[in-house]
């Protein structure tokens, strides 16, 4: 599986990209591409910012068992989708990119998704 991580920065049109991806999920599925709902913002927004905040929290707490529990629905969604590509879009992931250790951990997390 290939994960495309869209980290766009705030106020650069990221919400428009996220809305486009969300509204075109069925077309993406035809291309074996998943825009996950399990990590989507529960408000009216179509971003994956809760994913970024959760990862940051679990890494700061070094709470990897809770991180695994949090990621379980996403792993199931990926497996059930039969997709070979996943798009995660969250401008808030930029807050992890200041720390090389967090970047490495994020890479491991994404690899372990499938």
Do residues 50 and 41 make contact, with C-beta atoms less than 8 angstroms apart? yes
The whole-angstrom separation of Cα 81 and Cα 36 is 9
Summarize pLDDT for 14-56 with one digit per residue, the tens.
999 999 999 999 999 999 999 999 999 988 899 999 999 999 9
pLDDT value of position 16: 95
Structure tokens at 79: 């497996």
Domains in the chain: boundaries: 2-112
Q: Which residue has the higher pLDDT, 65 or 33?
A: 33
pLDDT band at 10 (very low <50, low <70, confident <90, very high): confident
Q: Strand, helix or coil at 34?
A: strand
Structure tokens at 55: 């990862």
Contacts of 75 (CB under 8 A, 6+ apart): 113, 114
pLDDT band at 105 (very low <50, low <70, confident <90, very high): very high
| φ/ψ of residue 98, rounded to 5 | -85, -10
């Amino acid at each position: 599986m290939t994960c495309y991580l869209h980290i766009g920065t705030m106020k650069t049109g990221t919400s428009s990209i996220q809305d486009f991806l969300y509204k075109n999920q069925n077309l993406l599925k035809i291309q074996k591409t998943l825009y996950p709902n399990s990590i989507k913002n529960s408000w009216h927004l179509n971003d994956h910012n809760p994913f970024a905040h959760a990862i940051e929290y679990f890494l700061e707490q070094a709470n990897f068992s809770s991180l695994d529990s949090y990621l379980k629905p996403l792993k199931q969604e990926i497996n059930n989708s039969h997709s070979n590509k996943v798009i995660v879009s969250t401008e808030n992931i930029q807050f992890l990119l200041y720390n090389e250790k967090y970047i490495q951990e994020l890479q491991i997390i994404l690899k372990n998704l499938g």
